[in-house]
Amino acid sequence: PGAVDSGEPERVAAATARLQLRHVVVTSVDRDDLADGGAGVFAETIRAIRRRAPRCRIEVLIPDFSGREADLQAVLEAGPDVLNHNIETVERLYRSARPGGKYARALEL
């Protein structure tokens, strides 16, 4: 992925408000290249949507943040209504589908 676009959270929030959305799902590509795995961008997007569309329900589909509890906590503290994480496959196939991932860690989320 390219560099983080610092204006994206506000643009997502503006579109949410303009379209008068009642429920949004915020997702991303894996950002293993970032120290926080993209947790800061998720958190800022949630806060921006809350400011511009306070009645909108916010669901986030997050990576496992390589098991870093602080990154997960940053997203949770921003206050999403729904937190989701896709496991992708069964345990037997997990290492081939997600070479850097850990099945047990994904389940812990």
Q: Quote the number of domains for the chain.
A: 1
Q: CB–CB of 91/103 below 8 Å?
A: yes
Residue 95: per-residue pLDDT? 84
In a domain, 57, yes or no: yes
Q: How many Å apart are CA 109 and CA 62, to the nearest integer?
A: 10
In a domain, 97, yes or no: yes
* pTM (predicted TM-score): 0.87
Residue 90: per-residue pLDDT? 87
Q: Which residues of the chain have pLDDT under 50?
A: none
Report which residue type is found at 58. Answer: I
CATH number, position 58? 3.40.50
3-state secondary structure of 58: strand
In a domain, 2, yes or no: no
Residue 75: per-residue pLDDT? 97
Q: CB–CB of 100/32 below 8 Å?
A: yes
Residue 94: per-residue pLDDT? 82
- pLDDT tens per residue, range 19-48: 999 999 999 877 877 888 899 999 999 999
